[in-house]
Chains A and B, each alone.
Chain A
Amino acid sequence: MLNYSPKRSDEPIWWSLFGAGGVWFAIVTPITVLLMGLLLPLHGLGLVDLNYDKLLAFVASPVGAVFTVLTIALPMWHAMHRVHHGLHDLKFHVGAVGKYLCYFVALVFTVLAAIWVLDLI
């Protein structure tokens, strides 16, 4: 029998974080990797003046701090949402415990990112 008046799902919260993480990881993270992973060690290829002190100053600025926390936190929410639903797909029906454990891991990374970044400011 179908439940005609189901409880409202809390999935919009998790799905929104998942969506934000996906968008961030697809659009913003590649640029970050290009800048920090390639152009920084290659000294900006002589095209841009990029160095460690400059990046550190950016991370320690208010905009840079938010950017850094989001760079770490959002893809984490995305990934843990995937893990949570992936477990169900693989028939590991771990229920609410699995769900909250997944999102707890994402929360831990978010808090740690915030602490690390605040430490730099």
Chain B
Amino acid sequence: MDKLQTVNVLRYDPAKDDEPYLEAFKVPANDTTSVQDALAYIKDNLDKSLSYRWSCRMAICGSCGVMVNKVPKLACKTFLRDYPEGMTLEPLDNFAIEKDLVVDKTPFLERLEAIKPYIIGNDRKPEDGTNLQTPAQMAKYKQFAGCINCGLCYAACPQFGLNPEFIGPAALTLAHRYNLDNRDHGKKERMKLINGDNGAWGCTFVGYCSEVCPKHVDPAAAVNQSKVESTKDFLIAMLKP
């Protein structure tokens, strides 16, 4: 049975508002109502000017990240039944607001692009057939390949909040994912960014990124393994004449 539940939403239209403010909505909810359903209900029935991002509704597109009671969550994977006291939805922390719950993800996309998250230096042709890997070769990177680029880890990361130059969890994780892939030969190109103060070394292993990751990718582990890689790289560079 549906009962009315309070959903507070942070509203901000830079064309009209001086600063963001909270607006309360009453949304009919039952055990199956997700935050995304609630937002759709508000937009369809209560206020069509509400802006929010969404697409797949099943935790794979990575579009619907929002702060739910100050914790980064996917709206599609979060349910009103778990918030009987009501909830407050805000745009992802550490990003600039474009409108309402929509943030400007440019800094995140810029970082993703910079670490070259694709296979480099493999000159195999289609006629060579499938580039087979053993289960052990795949196991090395598989966990880190689960990233859906939702950006929750950037909203969670206090270091990204303190230092906007930090490459950040997801991008460093994907760099590590490709560095661990035996089909890839681009590690040298990626290490340049990882070796910098704003690369792996911008992380102090707070670990909140791994806690909020909706796909259990464990970016904190990837970043800290990258620190080991960067230290090896440092030693080799020292020893080379």
Q: Which residues of A contact B (CB under 8 A)?
A: 2-9, 11-13, 15-16, 85, 88-89, 91
Contact = CB atoms under 8 A, between A and B. Distances in A.
A11 B197 contact: yes
B43 interface: no
Nearest to A11: B201
Contacts of A8: 195-196, 234, 237
A4 B204 CA distance: 22
Interface residues of B, number: 22
Interface of B: 110-111, 114, 158, 162, 165, 167, 192-193, 195-199, 201, 204, 227, 230-231, 234-235, 237
A2 B109 CA distance: 11
A85 B202 CA distance: 10
B134 to A, nearest CB: 31
Contacts of A89: 158, 162, 204
A2 B198 CA distance: 10
B162 A3 contact: no
Counting chain B CB atoms within 10 Å of each CB, which of A3, A5, A11, A89 scores highest? A11
A6 B234 contact: no
A95 to B, nearest CB: 12
B114 A2 contact: yes
A9 B195 contact: yes
Contacts of B234: 8, 12-13
B56 to A, nearest CB: 28
Nearest to A4: B114
B196 A88 contact: no
A16 B165 CA distance: 24
A104 to B, nearest CB: 20
B200 to A, nearest CB: 8
Contacts of A88: 162, 204
A12 B199 contact: no
A9 B167 CA distance: 14
Contacts of B114: 2, 4
A8 to B, nearest CB: 5
B111 A9 contact: no
Contact of A9 (B110, B158, B201): B201
Nearest to A14: B201
A3 B235 contact: no
